Amino acid sequence: MKQIRIFDEKFVSLVKKTTMNTNLQNKGNDAQGKPDHGEDNEKIITLVIVVNTTPTTVKINENAPLKAAAEKALEQTHNTGRPLSDYELKLNDQVLDMNKKVKDYGLKDGTELFLSLKAGTGGAN
Amino acid sequence: MEQINPAIVIEVAPAVSLASASANLQIIDPAVSQAKFEEETKLFLNSAGLHRKRGIIVLDCSFPNIKLAFCARQIIPAPVVFAVNINYTNYDMEALSVKFINPFTFELITLQELRHNFSRKVPIGNGQMRRQNLALGLPDGTPFICLPGIREYHKHSDHSNDPWLTHRGKGGEGTLGFIVDKLHQYGIAAINGYHLPLTIPEVLLGIDLNKLPS
């Protein structure tokens, strides 16, 4: 009985080591974006972008930068003639960095974003 | 003396200056302004539910005016902070006119009655910001928002070097959507509560009536 228990412990240890190595290898594959993990990279989400109070729906890959979604929204609402840098994209009145990816802000399907043309110089000095 | 041939005399109508035209005098084809009014208000009213959720309520809409109330729905009780009449007369040869009104009677109000500054932050260097008021008063006390894209800004003598026609049709500047967005951005979005300015009452000594000498 005692010999059998020793064998069991060695066997369990061997199985643990093998499992760890396999997990490490899988993690490495993930980092390299192997095709068998490609589903995550292709996730498309639908955003509602309100351009100067006109809402429009934009489908976008969550790995794309927000500026791609903003440009689509401007095109769809025929707001041309001004560069994207003249606009601000907001979520709940907080200005978003349009160079960041859609997924960086954890945006979900149907999230409402507000794209506004910045106001020119005015007001009291 | 040279005689004028009556056959070639042309009657010249008195020149009508856009700058001098009254806000209520339609000097371009009304069909143009009305078509633009219908196009922009239809777009806006199609998403009236979305605007209402932000605190923007349509009070009335008939050419050439759309009247809107702006509420700070983020605080309780939610106040009607201000209301405006946006006028499409001569649009878009002229910019839209934005006037502040009483939300219940639709009468024009004064800057003093508005009681709201419409502030924004402007950089002053070294990473420092200062607060700038956008709601200013005309000599007659009428409040207006001092921003390009709004008729009262372009007609103001201080902005004669920044005509509306250089802004018209560029990225939606000066459209109903743009103006509503700016009124919400500078007039509503930053409100976070009620501010009750309290003055410290005069400190008085306590008196025991029983110990008062006769």
More confident residue, B45 or B28: B45
Tell me: pLDDT of A58 over 90.
yes
User: How many contiguous H segments (helices) and E segments (strands) does chain B have?
Assistant: 5, 8
ipTM reported for the complex surpasses 0.90: no
A120 close to B182: Cβ distance less than 8 angstroms: no
CB contact under 8 A, A53 and B177: yes
User: What is the pLDDT of chain A when averaged over all its residues?
Assistant: 77
CB contact under 8 A, A120 and B182: no
B178 close to B92: Cβ distance less than 8 angstroms: no
Read off the pLDDT band of B5 (50, 70, 90). low
Tell me: pLDDT of A10 over 80.
no
Query: Angle at which helices B176-187 and B30-46 pack, to 10 degrees?
Result: 50
pLDDT in tens, B81-126: 999 999 999 999 999 999 999 999 999 999 999 999 998 888 888 8
Quick check: B176 contacting A, CB < 8 Å? yes
pLDDT for the residue numbered A100? 95
CB contact under 8 A, A82 and B148: no
Read off the pLDDT band of A53 (50, 70, 90). confident
pLDDT for the residue numbered A25? 43
More confident residue, B130 or B213: B130
Q: Strand A112-117 and strand B80-87: pairing? A: unpaired
B96 close to B151: Cβ distance less than 8 angstroms: yes
Q: How far is B57 from chain A (nearest CA, A)?
A: 13
Tell me the whole-structure pTM to 2 decimals: 0.75
pLDDT in tens, B44-59: 999 999 999 999 999 9
Q: How far is B171 from chain A (nearest CA, A)?
A: 5
Could you give the CA distance from residue B96 to residue A81 in angstroms, rounded to a whole number? 19
Quick check: A86 contacting B, CB < 8 Å? yes
**Percent of chain A residues past pLDDT 90, beyond the cut:** 50
More confident residue, A98 or A3: A98
Read off the pLDDT band of A125 (50, 70, 90). low
